[in-house]
Amino acid sequence: MYFLLSQLSLMDLKYLSTTAPKMVFNFLSGQKGISFLGCGVQSFFFLLMACSEGLLLASMAYDRYVAICHPLHYCIRMSKRMCVKMIVGSWILGSINSLAHTAYALHIPYCRSRAINHFFCDVPAMLPLACMDTWVYEYMVFVSTSLFLLFPFLGITASYSRVLFAVYHMQSRDGRKKAFTTRSTHLTIVTFYYAPFVYTYLRPRNLRSPAEDKILAVFYTILTPMLNPIIYSLRNKEVLGAMARVFGIFSSMK
């Protein structure tokens, strides 16, 4: 779990670095432009982090499921080699998906206004500017969202449901209460990440609203990456103890 948490922290850091600095710069400077190449780079890394984190969260849910529901098989099912495969697979599949979407978006002929009605280069916000029929690509977006976001979310929900069912039959009331609180918090954060994504990318273009898309994007680009370290790490006593020891070393050096 700690190995997976380190990767989640890395993804969240890169996730925020992809959109937030440019957004803050544009807001403070009043300049709202971005180069065509910069737009492509931002789109690539945003999609990479989004898809990879979606798969990683599903891997973490599976890890908790095995630890609670099959504790005697945990060392076999969740070996270090298996964790590495999960992480590498998340990065590779996310990279392939991101590269395909970004390459297509950059080769679409744009003959209308170049003003993107969004605070970052989101591909669905770029499609209305194209001067060609993009229904094939919109179908690709639907399939990609289902594979990388909808199905993992359903898997996480099923995993946590099984975990909560097992916790419900625990003998210790305090342990049961603690487990319920922790899992419900995790599931809430996961919902904040997946639900806006799925709702935004699975809707047909004629049902989308740019203002609504921007509000929903705040959840999966800013809010969830900020809350993940608090929910998954800082509520863990071992992590808090490690942080206390590290800060104690720094304070003693001063």
Q: What CATH number is attached to the domain comprising 154?
A: 1.20.1070.10
Q: Which domain holds residue 150?
A: 1-239
pTM equals 0.83
Contacts (Cβ under 8 Å, ≥6 apart) of 194 = 54, 149, 150, 152, 153, 156
Q: Is position 245 within any domain?
A: no
Q: Is position 249 within any domain?
A: no
Q: Is position 35 within any domain?
A: yes
CA R_g for the chain: 20
Q: Tell me the CA end-to-end span of the chain in Å, nearest whole number.
A: 33
Q: Is position 213 within any domain?
A: yes
Give the range among 43-57, 82-96, 135-149, 240-254 with minimum mean pLDDT. 240-254
Q: Write the pLDDT tens digit of every residue in 141-199.
A: 888 888 888 899 898 888 888 887 877 777 667 766 666 666 666 777 788 888 888 88
Q: Is position 5 within any domain?
A: yes
Residue linked to tokens 């590779």: 92
Q: Is position 45 within any domain?
A: yes
Overall number of domains in the chain:
1
pLDDT confidence band for 108 (50 / 70 / 90)? confident
* Residue 215, token pair as written in the block: 């509000």
Q: Is position 254 within any domain?
A: no
Q: Is position 252 within any domain?
A: no
